[in-house]
Amino acid sequence: MSEERKKRETPLLDELESGPWPSFVKEIKKSDTPMADDLLGVLERSYEEHIGHWKHGGLVGVMGYGGGVIGRYSDVPQDFPEVAEFHTMRINQPAAWFYTSDALRKITDIWERHGSGLTNMHGSTGDIVLLGCKTEALEPTFAELTSLGFDLGGSGSDMRTPSCCIGQARCEWACYDTMGACYDFTQTYQDELHRPAFPYKYKLKFAGCPNDCVASVARSDMSFIGVWRDDIKVDAEQVKAYAASGKLDIQQDVCDRCPTRCMRWDGASLAIDNANCVKCMHCINAMPKALAPGDDRGAAILIGAKAPIVGGALLGSVLVPFIKMEPPYEEIKELLSRIWDLWAEYGKNRERVGEFIQRLGLGNFLEQIGLEPVPEMITAPRANPYVFYQDTVEEEA
């Protein structure tokens, strides 16, 4: 069929195929369908005119669901009829993105039959992102995917599809079962995932240690970052082996780079003042054979990260410095429901929870959700003007 079809000229886009790096133009051309042609065509037009030709949002979705389908329409459908409707479907990924090749083939087969065939593995939420679906094809695609055991992910003002690092499946640093937690929260909050009832999106991400391979500290309204409470485990023989190898200068590369300077190396043995360790993972990453997280493991809960859409970017800040991560995670779920209740009721439309806390003040927010302020919530003395320790000082004076 490609012989009969007259391909669109895309000289500007073609330049993007010329570099040594991967090219989305090259990849989209490979799919060689009328939809892919029109997609490149409309983008070429945008490059010429310096304006976008997509309209966002609308009324698209599948029956019963408020999330998972992101409406995209062309504002020049007469010129690019194949992409007049070009919706995105988000499909809830398996925890830590483990697939069999058979499952992947089945998903892509379904998608080639019903949609553009173009995918984004994986979106910023973690989902399997199927790009370019016509409105009439949404329900049939959904029906086939659900019969395989897949379901839609989140979009709009709902809990977004939770995601996690690979955790205990492969990684020795994992301080808790990230995949187990991710799956548990996804199942518990199916209603919050599919039926948007919040002021805006709410993302949960689970990282097994402070290396944070899912970048939860920057990308999730609530992140669960694995940490330990006891001492870093030191294998003294392996420390010596690193020193002897000549590949690592323990003083310069490890001790001097410890953010709190809590390590001492005397040329023969390594001492760590664990009370001052902030669990940055640097020393462990530098000497993986010699050092490891302690045995008393759990997670720190951070709140409020977001990418810049309405206000500026925010990183997550500590809400709970340490909590054991054990099913059924009841204490955490109770905390989460207090946060959701408060934010859902008083948050403004499109106000992320981080912005909500800034508006309300951390002190007021903590009081409302019933948490005591703790020093870990503050990065440096006087850095956080929201917490006031008023009563104590006056009473003693």
Partner 1 sequence: MSVGVDQVAEAMFQLVTETHGKKSLKAMDLTKAMIEKFGAAECDKELCKHAIRQLMDSGRCIYSYLGGSYITLPPDKA
Measured CA to CA in angstroms, residue 391 lies from 386, 388, 394, 397 at distances of 15, 9, 5, 10
What is the 3-state secondary structure of 68-111? Answer: CEECEEECCCCCCHHHCECEEEEECCCHHHCCCHHHHHHHHHHH
CB of residue 8 vs ligand SF4: minimum separation in angstroms? 43
Residues 391 and 393: their CA atoms lie apart, in Å, by: 6
What distance lies between CA 152 and its chain's CA centroid?
Answer: 17
- Residue 101: exposed, middle, or buried by beta-carbon count in 10 A (0-12, 13-18, 19+)? exposed
CB of residue 285 vs ligand HEM: minimum separation in angstroms? 24
Is 117 one of the binding residues for ligand SF4 (CB under 6 A)?
Answer: no
361: left (phi over 0), alpha (psi -120 to 50) or beta: left
CB of residue 88 vs ligand HEM: minimum separation in angstroms? 4
Q: Looking only at residues 278 through 317 of this chain, which bind ligand SF4 when binding is defined by CB under 6 A?
A: 278-284
The answer to whether 133 and 115 are in contact (CB under 8 A) is: yes
Is 359 one of the binding residues for partner 1 (CB under 8 A)?
Answer: no
Is 354 one of the binding residues for partner 1 (CB under 8 A)?
Answer: no
Residues 267 and 252: their CA atoms lie apart, in Å, by: 12
Interaction mask 55-84, partner 1, x per CB under 8 A: -xxxx-x-xxxxx--xx-------------
Binds ligand SF4 (CB under 6 A): choice among 277, 287, 335, 360: 277
CB of residue 205 vs ligand HEM: minimum separation in angstroms? 10
Range in contact with ligand SF4 (rule: CB under 6 A) among 21-29, 54-62, 148-156, 164-172: 164-172
Nearer Cβ to partner 1 (57/259): 57
Which residue from 388, 283, 303, 390 is spatially nearest to 353, judged by alpha carbons? 303
Helix axis angle for 353-360 and 330-346, nearest 10°, is 70
Is 208 one of the binding residues for ligand SF4 (CB under 6 A)?
Answer: yes
Chain positions contacting ligand HEM, by CB under 6 A: 52, 54, 70, 72, 86, 88, 90, 120, 123-125, 127, 129, 219, 307, 309
Binds partner 1 (CB under 8 A): choice among 79, 230, 296, 341: 341
Of partner 1, ligand SF4, ligand HEM, none, which one does residue 63 interact with (CB within 5 to 8 Å by kind)? partner 1
Residues 88 and 358: their CA atoms lie apart, in Å, by: 32
Tell me the three state secondary structure of residue 216: helix
Catalog residues that contact partner 1 under the rule CB under 8 A: 56-59, 61, 63-67, 70-71, 155-158, 191, 195-200, 341, 344-345, 349-350
Catalog residues that contact ligand SF4 under the rule CB under 6 A: 165-167, 171, 173-174, 207-209, 211-213, 258-260, 262-263, 272, 277-284
